[in-house]
């Protein structure tokens, strides 16, 4: 379950819904030099409002508690971003 404290370090937040679990973003375990948080809307309904989730899955990159990049699912309910693209953003932080 995600904690709603402000992120004091670089972080990646992945939010999905249980019904769409088969479309979890595949690259979470491959990321380095970043704290990864993973949560499902059914586990904590306040995540939808807190993170302004309109599509699932959603991947949000934070630097020192500030959102720097957001990836949202397309109509097929999948994220179309590569691990390399996400890691490049993290490395630039």
CATH number of the domain within which 78 lies: 3.40.30.10
pLDDT at 3: 46
Range of the domain at 70: 11-92
In a domain, 6, yes or no: no
In a domain, 2, yes or no: no
Q: What does DSSP assign to residue 5?
A: S
Q: Which of 41, 29, 88 is nearest to 61 (CA)?
A: 88
In a domain, 1, yes or no: no
Tell me if 81 sits within 8 A of 39, measured CB to CB.
no
In a domain, 3, yes or no: no
In a domain, 4, yes or no: no
Q: How many CA atoms lie within 13 A of 59 on its CB side?
A: 25
From first to last of its 93 residues, the chain has per-residue pLDDT tens of 444 455 568 999 999 999 999 999 999 999 999 999 999 999 988 889 989 999 999 999 999 889 999 999 999 999 999 999 999 999 999
Predicted model pTM: 0.89
């Amino acid at each position: 379950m995600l904690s709603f404290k402000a992120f004091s370090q670089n972080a990646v937040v992945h939010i999905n819904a249980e019904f769409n679990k088969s479309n979890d973003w595949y690259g979470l375990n491959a990321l380095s030099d970043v704290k990864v948080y993973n949560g499902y809307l059914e586990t904590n309904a306040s995540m939808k409002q807190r993170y302004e989730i309109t599509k699932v899955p959603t991947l949000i990159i934070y630097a020192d508690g500030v959102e720097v990049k957001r990836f949202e699912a397309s109509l097929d309910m999948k994220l179309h971003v590569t691990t390399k693209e996400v890691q490049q953003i993290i490395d630039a932080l």
